[in-house]
Chain A
């Protein structure tokens, strides 16, 4: 069976969930060979093996942390040359897409980004994507070179599938360009203790109707009762009520959770672009005419300051 390279997104050896989802999809098109780079790369092996990696190629060097993107492209290219895979799969993070894109240019291959599903096809892997704010579903494939495909979080269920996961050191010689963009300093994001927005199974978002930074505590309380991530519309972010890192929409994060709860969000096209592929959509809004109600599975026309706290209480009671 053909091998498929899977780029591993991890933080000091802790594999992020989208990579495990990627391994599930990779098994549909071949035998997953994982590529883990940087500090803690070898520590990822056990988790990757549990989820289907037959081999784990690892490399660590200061370049991965000290310079932007290119050292990782050099390493992924080295893995590509060592393995000759049938496809290269990369999580659709901002950095993942840039790494994938540069690799694609180097190996003269087409690239597909933000796939939401992947199947084996007669002429190589077929990727499903959402287009035009998720108003279209397209099926595409790479017609030149080795398919390079980035996959969005929440596109597949994480499945255990124990495999050998043999660790092999990857030899990387960095290109002259690898040190072009220096990372002068890095400030880790403060953890809120809540799940990551793009990975969360449930997202609770607030918009203009929340009417003030201090009122976001109501949204946070509901999120915490459900174990959810907190999102915000652009209006709320532009008003300074919530950080941009939590913005859902065309210019923010694109989310695809099992459940999306929009509170005080009208549902402009820019917001819909970032959440329309959510499995179940719920909205709470005073305005019965708000476009968000066209999308919902369940909507409550009412004041979020009444409905959200009542819902939070009810969730807490039911969860005991």
Chain B
């Protein structure tokens, strides 16, 4: 029986660019290039490795986002995912994590799944709660923040390295998994992979296809409201000294002046 894997990915503004908020206090996507969130590459990689170990597996990569978000899907397809689902709808602009997770959950159910894999967090919002919310919405076990993951005989196992302990976890499929950047280096797409990706199917869905009302998503439907976003004032230029033998001592002097010593 085929193992159906859905990988949730996000198209995010490049962190090395000049990230900003737009006038409506949503993320400004016009002035900075977007790309597949780096942390989601680890999710794609683990999906590919799990699929390799399975007798028969199919990987669907799923995203919710504007037209450009197809770039993130293409990247995942070029790494080796089999097909893609793109949920795109003008009414989605400004959707918060609750709305996004609702859309993802409905799209995952529509696609069909045994295993959902996500990155540990997006590199823009960095909340890190979406995988847990998806598990709650789908009513399946969450096996999250794994630095090691494997699937065999309908059971997913993994290692979660927490603040105070490292835990070995286990759950029956279907389940939602999230992986950290410690799970294993993500592969680069090969030329062959890039060419093959162009022919792979990308299914487009809108809110109607998922039976979601426009009021449940978007800026109006968000359950949180950003009242203000202010650029942090640039730090005032600090004191910089060149070490000519006294650097350590000078620094100690400074720290003592600030009452740290």
Contacts and interface: CB of A to CB of B under 8 A. Distances in A.
A139 B227 contact: yes
B98 A110 contact: yes
Given A110-B96, A113-B128, A68 B169 contact: yes
B260 A259 contact: yes
A301 B224 CA distance: 44
A314 B249 contact: yes
Which 9 A-B residue pairings sit nearest by Cβ, starting from the closest? Answer: A302-B243, A310-B248, A110-B223, A180-B141, A101-B129, A314-B252, A144-B223, A98-B132, A110-B224
Given A136-B231, A315-B261, 19 more contacts: A69-B144, A73-B136, A100-B129, A102-B133, A104-B98, A110-B222, A131-B229, A132-B20, A138-B21, A138-B226, A139-B227, A140-B227, A141-B224, A185-B168, A187-B166, A189-B166, A196-B163, A311-B249, A318-B252
A196 B162 CA distance: 12
Contact of B251 (A100, A181, A288, A300): A300
Interface residues of B, number: 80
A251 B142 contact: no
A259 B21 contact: no
Interface stretch (A27-35, A37-45, A208-216, A289-297): A289-297
A184 B247 CA distance: 51
Given A198-B163, A251-B180, A226 B260 contact: yes
Interface of B: 15-16, 19-21, 25, 39, 96-98, 101, 120, 123-124, 126-129, 132-133, 135-137, 139-145, 147, 157, 160-172, 175, 180-182, 222-232, 235, 238-243, 245, 247-252, 254-256, 258, 260-261
- Chain A, interface residues (CB within 8 Å), range: 35 or more
Contacts of B157: 184
Q: Which of B15, B162, B224 has the most CB of A within 10 A?
A: B224
Interface of A: 11, 68-70, 73, 93-95, 97-98, 100-102, 104-106, 108-114, 126, 130-145, 177, 180-189, 196, 198, 202, 226, 244-245, 250-251, 258-259, 269-270, 273, 280-282, 284, 288, 293-303, 306-315, 318-319
B235 A137 contact: no
Contacts of A308: 248
A141 B225 contact: yes
Contacts of A301: 240-243, 247
Contacts of B15: 132-133, 250, 269-270, 273
Contacts of B222: 110, 143
Nearest to B155: A182
Contacts of A131: 21, 229
B127 A181 contact: no
